[in-house]
Every structure is written in structure tokens, then in C-alpha cells.
């Protein structure tokens, strides 16, 4: 009597490889929006030129050789390489985290926005030696918030989502 072989389990491709694609796609969209906006503003404005859009918002082309709030902007140029390296290392680590936690939607939204913003600014540093900023919010003429860009906005929104995700996780 022939023994009946048990069927081999069907191996299904892991969805973890495919699940990284939407998050990298979101980061790519952030990079594209950021770069298109920067190219547009540099074509339309001269350095330092400003256009009042509302009573509290201007489009103003400025360059930032430093990091957030022009941190280290006055240095001799080494900061360009430091911030580029930090951005690339962060993007690599975020990719690892996205692959590992791809099912955690809010967490991955946060990381994708942060990665897209970081790489958008890395591209500026590599191409121009500085980051292009142009969103200028102010209160009358008393206070101007430091100018920023789409990449900075994505990083800020991503950080807020990351905090929200952590608060939700702690409550569970």
C-alpha cells in the first residue's frame, strides 16, 4: 500500500517586502512636492525677494546653510556635510523601521513624512550647498518665524504624528 504523502505547505510570498512600497511612495511624493516648489520659487524670485500673500504670510526666497532655525549657518561649510550625512543615515534607519513596522499605519505615516522631508533637504545641500526656504509667516512686522519649506513642514507634521502615535500606544 502506497503511503500518502502529505501536501507541502504552500509558501506565500511575504507581504513585508511589498508593504514598504506605499511608505517609500509617500516619502517620494514629499520629495517631489518639495523639489518642485523650490525649483518654482527659485525661477520666480531673486534671493531675498518677497511677495506679501496675506497680512501674516509672505513668499520669500532665502537660503539656509545650517539646520532648523539656521543652527550652525554661520560656520565655514563643514555643517553641509554633517547635515547631509545625518539626513542619509536617518533615511536608511527609517527605511529599516518602515520595513519592520509596516503594519503600523500612523507610525509609518510619521516616518515617511520625516524621511521625505529629510531627503528633500539633503538634495538641496548636495545640489546647492544650502537649503532653499520660502514660506515666511509673521506677526505684523514685529516677529517673523524663520522661513521654511515643504520638506520642513513634512518633518514637523511627521514628528507630530510620531508623538501622537506614541501617546496612543502608551494609553493601550
- Catalytic residues, which ones? 133, 152
Tell me which DSSP letter residue 148 carries.
B
Helix spans in 3-77 (H): 15-44
Cα–Cα distance measured from residue 20 to residue 67, given in angstroms and rounded to the nearest whole number: 28
**Nearest 5 degrees, angle CA 118-CA 119-CA 122?**
90
| Torsion angle, alpha carbons of 152, 153, 154, 158, to 10 | 100
Contact assessment for residue 155 and residue 67, using Cβ atoms and an 8 Å cutoff: no
Grid cell 500518502 is found at 4
Q: Which of 111, 103, 117 is nearest to 161 (CA)?
A: 111
Contact assessment for residue 38 and residue 122, using Cβ atoms and an 8 Å cutoff: no
Cα–Cα distance measured from residue 113 to residue 110, given in angstroms and rounded to the nearest whole number: 5
Amino acid at each position: 500500500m502506497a503511503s500518502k504523502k502529505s501536501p507541502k505547505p504552500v509558501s506565500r510570498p511575504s507581504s513585508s517586502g511589498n508593504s514598504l512600497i506605499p511608505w517609500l511612495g509617500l516619502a517620494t511624493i514629499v520629495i517631489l512636492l518639495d523639489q518642485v516648489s523650490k525649483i518654482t520659487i527659485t525661477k520666480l524670485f531673486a534671493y531675498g525677494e518677497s511677495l506679501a500673500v496675506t497680512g501674516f504670510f509672505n513668499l520669500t526666497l532665502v537660503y539656509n546653510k545650517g539646520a532648523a532655525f539656521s543652527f550652525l549657518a554661520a560656520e565655514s561649510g563643514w555643517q553641509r556635510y554633517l547635515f547631509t550625512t545625518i539626513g542619509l543615515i536617518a533615511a536608511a534607519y527609517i527605511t529599516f523601521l518602515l520595513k519592520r513596522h509596516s503594519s503600523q499605519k500612523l507610525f509609518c505615516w510619521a516616518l515617511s513624512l520625516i524621511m521625505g522631508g529629510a531627503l528633500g533637504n539633503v538634495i538641496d545641500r548636495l545640489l546647492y550647498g544650502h537649503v532653499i526656504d520660502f514660506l515666511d509667516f509673521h506677526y505684523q512686522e514685529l516677529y517673523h518665524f524663520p522661513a521654511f519649506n515643504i520638506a520642513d513642514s513634512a518633518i514637523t507634521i511627521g514628528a507630530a504624528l510620531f508623538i501622537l502615535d506614541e501617546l496612543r500606544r502608551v494609553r493601550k
